[in-house]
């Protein structure tokens, strides 16, 4: 990608979001949801939902190779390998901010486990693999779409939609269940830590849910750590209109640092995926082992 494109990338997404304003208003008027229409925070979330329905599949197509490699244990130091080089997704899984189920088909493909050569096992014959998935998604429209997607990909016997924010997953009064501390083998966070409230507090909560030896699979966009102060200022400046147009998403989250600092990890492998160093929306990818 050209340097100019990387520089204006946030503005391209924001212009796309603006073009979704009329459709968002139309949907809310048709639904007679005037409360959301006239609530700045409600409208912001509804706009992001409409926008994500367009941009989500495009981002999935761009990022699928990386995310599949991550979940299959084929990422090390930000690079994709042909063979398994770290843990692959298994056991009881918590997918944070699952959205409308963009990654449900990938989870279904990985659910039988991965052998040492990096080949996926069929779920029917698998002795390892995924036994349960909690998909945490507070947006009611997305949670409904998530359930539909789970059924479409045939994961309904394994995947439970948890229709609350992660801050409530251990609260049985908030939803029909409770996730116990130390009960999760793998946490999956794909482009979601930028959107959750109180990241330090909620990442700490998620850390407590992980079993000792459990893995956190990370693919997130983060605050710029490369370049000089001008680049950091420019990202901060872009984040001002971004925060009005992109739901609760922030461009300037230090998710990598927050994850590292949240507790004791046996292993940390977090690095930028192959990037040019000129990104205003830089990413990190990898795993942490508790
Ligand atoms: C950028 S979207 C990514 C969705 C999905 N991971 C994907 O890649 O398509 C961020 C998601 O985080 C969700 N989210 C916002 N606040 C949250 C919270 N408190 N707990 C869990 N998820 C949250 C949003 O509703 C949204 O679906």
119 pLDDT above the threshold of 70:
no
pLDDT, tens digit (0-9, with 9 covering 90-100), for 126-136: 446 899 999 99
Residue 203 beta carbon below 6 angstroms from any ligand 1 atom: no
Would you state the structure tokens that stand for residue 207, as one six-digit string? 């850390």
Tell me what pLDDT residue 125 has. 46
HSE, side-chain direction, 13 A CA sphere, residue 145: 17
Alpha-carbon span 234 to 230, nearest angstrom = 6
pLDDT, tens digit (0-9, with 9 covering 90-100), for 182-203: 999 999 999 999 999 999 999 9
Q: Compute φ and ψ for 261, nearest 5 degrees.
A: -85, -5
Tell me what pLDDT residue 201 has. 96
Closest CA to 108 of 82, 87, 135, 85: 135
Residue 191 beta carbon below 6 angstroms from any ligand 1 atom: yes
Band (pLDDT 50/70/90 cuts) for residue 226 is confident
From atom 20 of ligand 1, which residue's Cα is the shortest distance away?
165
Fold of 65-289: Rossmann fold (3.40.50)
State which of 41, 93, 97, 98 you would mutate to test the pocket of ligand 1, scoring each by most atoms of that ligand within 8 A of its C-beta: 97
How confident is the prediction for the chain on average, in pLDDT?
92
From atom 22 of ligand 1, which residue's Cα is the shortest distance away?
97
103: Cβ contacts below 8 Å, ≥ 6 apart: 60, 67, 95, 188, 190
Residue 192 beta carbon below 6 angstroms from any ligand 1 atom: yes
pLDDT, tens digit (0-9, with 9 covering 90-100), for 19-61: 999 999 999 999 999 999 999 999 998 899 889 888 999 999 9
pLDDT, tens digit (0-9, with 9 covering 90-100), for 233-275: 999 999 999 999 999 999 999 999 999 999 999 999 999 998 8
């Amino acid at each position: 990608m050209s340097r100019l494109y990387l520089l204006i990338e946030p503005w391209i997404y924001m212009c796309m979001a603006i073009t979704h304003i009329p459709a968002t208003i139309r949907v809310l008027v048709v639904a007679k949801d005037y409360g959301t229409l006239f609530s700045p925070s409600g409208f912001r979330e509804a706009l992001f939902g409409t926008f994500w329905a367009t941009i989500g599949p495009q981002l999935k197509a761009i990022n699928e190779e990386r995310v599949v490699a991550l979940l299959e244990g084929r990422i090390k130091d930000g690079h994709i390998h042909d063979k398994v080089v770290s843990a692959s997704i298994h056991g009881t899984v918590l997918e944070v901010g699952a959205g409308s189920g963009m990654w449900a088909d990938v989870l279904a493909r990985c659910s039988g486990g991965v052998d040492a050569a990096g080949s996926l096992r069929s779920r029917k014959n698998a002795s390892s693999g995924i036994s349960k998935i909690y998909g945490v998604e507070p947006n009611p429209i997305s949670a409904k779409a998530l359930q539909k997607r789970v059924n479409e990909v045939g994961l309904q016997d394994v995947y439970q939609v948890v229709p609350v924010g992660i801050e409530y997953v251990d609260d049985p009064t908030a939803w029909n269940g409770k996730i116990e501390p130390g009960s999760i083998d793998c946490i999956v966070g794909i482009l979601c830590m930028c959107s959750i409230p109180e990241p330090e507090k909620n990442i700490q909560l998620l850390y407590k849910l992980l079993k000792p030896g459990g893995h956190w699979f990370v693919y997130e966009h983060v605050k710029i750590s490369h370049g000089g102060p001008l680049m950091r200022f420019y990202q901060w400046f872009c984040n001002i209109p971004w925060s009005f147009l992109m739901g609760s998403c922030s461009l300037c989250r230090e998710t990598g640092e927050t994850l590292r600092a949240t507790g004791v990890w046996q292993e940390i492998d977090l690095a930028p995926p192959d990037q040019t160093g000129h990104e205003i929306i830089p990413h990190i990818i990898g795993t942490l082992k508790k």
